[in-house]
Chain A
Amino acid sequence: MHIIESGNVAAATGVKLSRAQVIAAYPITPQTPLTEKLSEFVESQELDAQYIPVESEHSAMAVCIAASTAGARAFTATSANGLLYMNEQLHWAVGARLPVVMCVANRGIGAPWTVWNDQQDSMSQRDVGWIQLYANDHQQIIDSVIKAFRLAQSVSIPVMVCYDGYLLSHTYMPFELPGQEQVDAFLPSFTPEHFLNPDEPGNFNTVTLPDTRAGVDGTVEPGYIEIRHNLHEDLRGALEVYGDIDAEYEKGCGRGGTPFIEQYRCDDAECVAVAIGSLSYQLRDVIDILREEGLRVGVMSVQMYRPFPDGAIVEALAGRKSVIVFEKALSYGNQGPLYADIKAALYSRGDRPPIQNYILGLGGREIKTSQLLDALKESCSAIEAFDDTPRWIGLKL
């Protein structure tokens, strides 16, 4: 069944279909319609869940952490400063290995205050250990939310599904609504291996020593570094799991097949543009125009950013004549984070392409297709001018 709805409602519907059991809600632009829709679902009893209107985002993730430790399927959503306010809790959820799912409606971070879209909020959290999925359109939002719950519980790592604030959260698009039966078959309810249980008492996440230490039965248990190493290994292992999950989802509904990257006209492209989110679809218009002019160009979006799908990215980009990375985020004092990651992945390849970084759209600065056109055209013709310094698009200096 097709419906026409906003990105936020697509996300909320995905949460409903996934039968989230505990929802923590704190409002922040541009996520608010998502939490509003969820409250409607709960109050109308379309969704049987505990809806907890917390008093802050830090508390929102606290609720999710505790509920998940107690064995319930937990969800929250936020943006920008809300995400940053719960930063400590993001680290906690990951280290505690909890299958929490969160939606982030990407928005620029203060100071100065901005409510408009860029991707600095979630990108700044890339080191925390949360799995990060990025949606390019409303269909991908709802499908990614459902897959996120499945992935989180399969690998015991929390997952954030990110989508552009306003550009996706508030615009209306048609998309296919997955059926509840299909989702139930894909996402069975589950009981975690460890949870708060009076019949089997345990103390979760207390102070853990630097070194290994024997437990009450004499078994030597790991220290902090082993636990974190296990997390990292499991994150890398999650790449294969997500590939399988995406394939299974595609088998059920016919949508999917691009778990890590999504390519458009890249097969014979000499120059590949890379972007995350709705920008990658805007770039398709540019690709089409340049193709008409005879340029062999394509665009690739990154769907899963953490764990970093270096295999898929290297396979897609090695040997190209040039790669241009457009980013709505910056690792201040250095370069765009995606650009740096791609460069690092290609570093050891003899056929690594020249790569140029562009920064744009911060604080919601409008990105004109003409600007993208000029940048790509210029880049494709002046590869020898590439350097490590990010170029900025749209500055009015």
Chain B
Amino acid sequence: MAHRDFCKMISRSKPGPGDGGKTGSWRVLRPILHTEKCIPVKAGKKACFNCWLYCPDCVVTKTIPPTIDLEYCKGCGICAEECPADAIDMVAEDTFSTEEK
């Protein structure tokens, strides 16, 4: 029968992060969480988590306190805007030294 192997190339993508590269490099503003204001931290149990809920890029963890993956965080600021305790500040990215980046 046929000797060739057919259809060895198709466009089928496999799941994985970073299709857009390290999208943390898009940031102009960086979210800084002040844990002393954070509601689940203060309550000592799962509560609020607005930042986790509204993050478009799923870079916020649902932990006490929440953490933000700066490799991929695009710095949109929604978490800061929606935090009912004003626990997140958006700080200019260029105020951070190269080590801190």
A residues near B, CB below 8 A?
A: 95-97, 154-156, 193-194, 201-206, 208, 215-217, 222, 226-227, 230, 234, 237, 240-241, 244
Chain B 64-78 interface 0/1 with A at a Cβ cutoff of 8 Å (1 = within): 000000000000000
How many whole Å from A218's CB to the nearest CB in chain B?
10
Chain A CB within 8 A of B44 CB: no
A227, B7: Cβ atoms closer than 8 Å: no
A154, B14: Cβ atoms closer than 8 Å: no
**When A204-B11, A208-B11, A227-B11 are in contact, do A155 and B6 touch as well, CB less than 8 Å?**
yes
A234, B7: Cβ atoms closer than 8 Å: yes
| Chain B interface main SS type | loop
A234, B15: Cβ atoms closer than 8 Å: no
User: Which chain B residues lie closer than 8 Å to A202 at the CB level?
Assistant: 12-15
How many whole Å from B19's CB to the nearest CB in chain A?
9
How many whole Å from B22's CB to the nearest CB in chain A?
14
B12, A244: Cβ atoms closer than 8 Å: no
User: Which chain B residues lie closer than 8 Å to A203 at the CB level?
Assistant: 12-13, 15
B7, A205: Cβ atoms closer than 8 Å: no
A156, B6: Cβ atoms closer than 8 Å: yes
Residues 1-30 of B at the A interface (beta carbon under 8 Å):
1-4, 6-17
A202 — nearest CB in chain B belongs to which residue?
A: B12
13 further contact pairs, Cβ within 8 A, besides A205-B12, A237-B2: A95-B11, A202-B12, A203-B12, A216-B14, A217-B16, A230-B7, A230-B8, A237-B4, A237-B6, A240-B2, A241-B6, A244-B1, A244-B2
Alpha-carbon separation in the docked complex, A54 to B10 (Å) = 28
User: Which chain B residues lie closer than 8 Å to A194 at the CB level?
Assistant: 10, 12
How many whole Å from A378's CB to the nearest CB in chain B?
44
B4, A234: Cβ atoms closer than 8 Å: yes
B12 — nearest CB in chain A belongs to which residue?
A: A202
How many whole Å from B41's CB to the nearest CB in chain A?
34
Alpha-carbon separation in the docked complex, A341 to B1 (Å) = 28
B6, A234: Cβ atoms closer than 8 Å: yes
User: Which chain B residues lie closer than 8 Å to A234 at the CB level?
Assistant: 4, 6-7
How many whole Å from A260's CB to the nearest CB in chain B?
16
How many whole Å from B71's CB to the nearest CB in chain A?
15
A154, B2: Cβ atoms closer than 8 Å: yes
Residue of A96, A155, A240, A244 touching B10 (CB-CB under 8 A): A96
User: Which chain B residues lie closer than 8 Å to A217 at the CB level?
Assistant: 14, 16
User: Which chain B residues lie closer than 8 Å to A222 at the CB level?
Assistant: 9
> Could you pull out 29 A-B pairs where Cβ atoms are within 8 angstroms?
A95-B11, A96-B10, A96-B11, A97-B10, A154-B6, A155-B2, A156-B7, A193-B7, A201-B15, A203-B13, A204-B10, A204-B11, A205-B12, A215-B14, A216-B14, A216-B15, A216-B16, A217-B14, A222-B9, A226-B9, A227-B10, A230-B9, A234-B4, A237-B4, A240-B3, A240-B4, A241-B1, A241-B2, A244-B1
